[in-house]
Amino acid sequence: MAEETTAGTAAEGAPVHHAEPAVFGVLDATVWVSIAMALFIVILLWKKVPGLIARGLDKQIAAIRSRLDEAKALRAEAEALRDEYARKIASVEAQAAEMVAHADEEAKALIAKARQDADELVRRRGKMAEDKIAAAERAALDDIRARTADAAAKAAASIIAQKHDAGADKALVDRTIAGLSRLN
C-alpha cells in the first residue's frame, strides 16, 4: 500500500523525490564537478595557459597601441597639412585682395590719366580750332582790307582822274615835293 500512496501522489502532481547517487555516501555529483574543475585548472596552470593568454593579449595590446600611435601621427600630420593649407589659402586670399586693390588703384589712376589726357586733348583741339578761326578771321580781314584798299585806290584814281586835270596835278605834285623837302 505504500507503493500505492507514492504512485498516487505522483499522479496528483506532487513532486517525487529520488535519492541522489553518491560514492561513499559523501561524494555526490557536485563534489565530482568541483574536483573536475580543480583538476582542469591545475592542468591549465601546469601547461602555462594563462601565460599564453597573457602574451596573446599583450601582443594585441601592443598592436592596438602601435595602431593608435600611428593614428595619432597621421592625425598630427593631417592637422599640420590642414593648417599649412589654411595658411596658404589665407595668404592667397590676402594676395588676391592686394592684387584687386592694386588693380583698382591702377584703374583709378588710368581713368584719371585718361580724363586728364582727354581734357588736355579737348583743350588743345579747342585752342587749335580757336587759332584756326583767328587765323581765318585775320586772313579774311587782311583780304577784305586788301580788297578795300584796292577798291579805294581804284575809286580814288577814278575820282582823281575825273576831277583833276593836268594843271591840278601839277599843283598837287609841287605841294608834295615841297612837303618832302621840308622833312629833309
| Measured CA angle at 32 (ends 29, 33), to 5 deg | 90
Q: How much of the chain exceeds pLDDT 90, in percent?
A: 46
- Give the pLDDT band (50/70/90) at residue 63: very high
pLDDT reported for residue 163: 73
CA dist 179 and 172 (Å) reads 11
Q: Work out the number of other CB atoms within 10 angstroms of the CB of residue 150.
A: 10
What are the cell numbers at 26? 559523501
CA dist 79 and 91 (Å) reads 18
Q: Say if residues 21 and 28 touch (Cβ distance below 8 Å).
A: yes
pLDDT digits (tens, 9 = 90+) for 126-177: 999 999 999 999 998 888 888 888 888 888 888 877 776 767 777 778 888 8
CA dist 66 and 71 (Å) reads 8
| Measured CA angle at 49 (ends 43, 51), to 5 deg | 135
Could you say which DSSP state residue 47 is in? Answer: T
Q: Say if residues 44 and 50 touch (Cβ distance below 8 Å).
A: yes
pLDDT reported for residue 83: 95
Domain-wise residue ranges, the chain: 20-128
pLDDT digits (tens, 9 = 90+) for 5-14: 444 444 566 6
